[in-house]
Amino acid sequence: MKILAISGSLREASTNTAILKSLQKLAPGTTDFTIYCPDPAIPHFSPDLDKPDAFTSVETLRNLVKNANGVIICTPEYAYGVPGTLKNALDWLVSSGELNEKPVAALSASPMYTGGEKALTSLLHTLTALGTVPAGSLSIGSINTKINAAKEITDSETVEALKMLLQKLEKVVAEKVSG
């Protein structure tokens, strides 16, 4: 099974990317689990620019999504919304359709107790517009108290919730593959 994990943060010390790395470790050995942070070289989306093979950065993203059986997106909340980098990357997938009918699990994490829930709600709306198959969602609040200096999740409830989300995604993917 091929899982593509997309982070909404470009930060080196990102807690959201750290969550994806934890999920990578929790995934079965048979899972091909790739973590992707949106390439800053992806241009601002405009339909005028949306021509086949116009940008290597866009084609790389589109191929990664196309070749994945399932996708996990984990994002911070910026100003009550999805970071522009992630939203821009998703906008590039509208016309090409790689996310259409693709199982997607969505997460948000924040040092605030609200866990980036507004960004998560907005992300889920976007994923609906893109025609994805919902495969679970999770909002993680107070992330800074649940992660250590080595960027490992130390909170057992959070680890359990991540395991369950991964299992749900794998189940939705398996159901889709078996038709």
Q: Which tokens sit at 141?
A: 């609040």
Ranges assigned E (strand) in the chain: 2-7, 32-36, 70-75, 103-109, 133-140
Q: Does residue number 84 form part of the binding site for ligand FNR (CB under 6 A)?
A: no
Stretch that binds ligand FNR, among 31-39, 46-54, 76-84, 155-163 (CB under 6 A): 76-84
Q: Which of 89, 106, 102 is nearest to 43 (CA)?
A: 89
Work out the angle at residue 61's Cα, subtended by the Cα atoms of residues 107 and 77, and round it to the nearest 5 degrees: 30
3-state SS class at 3: strand
Between CA 141 and CA 67 the distance in angstroms is 32
Q: Does residue number 22 form part of the binding site for ligand FNR (CB under 6 A)?
A: no
Quick one: which of 3, 6, 14, 123 contacts ligand FNR (CB under 6 A)?
A: 14
CB 86 → ligand FNR: shortest distance, Å? 11
CB 138 → ligand FNR: shortest distance, Å? 14
Pick between residue 144 and residue 167 the one whose CB is nearest to ligand FNR: 144
Q: Does residue number 85 form part of the binding site for ligand FNR (CB under 6 A)?
A: no
Q: Does residue number 150 form part of the binding site for ligand FNR (CB under 6 A)?
A: no
Q: Does residue number 112 form part of the binding site for ligand FNR (CB under 6 A)?
A: yes
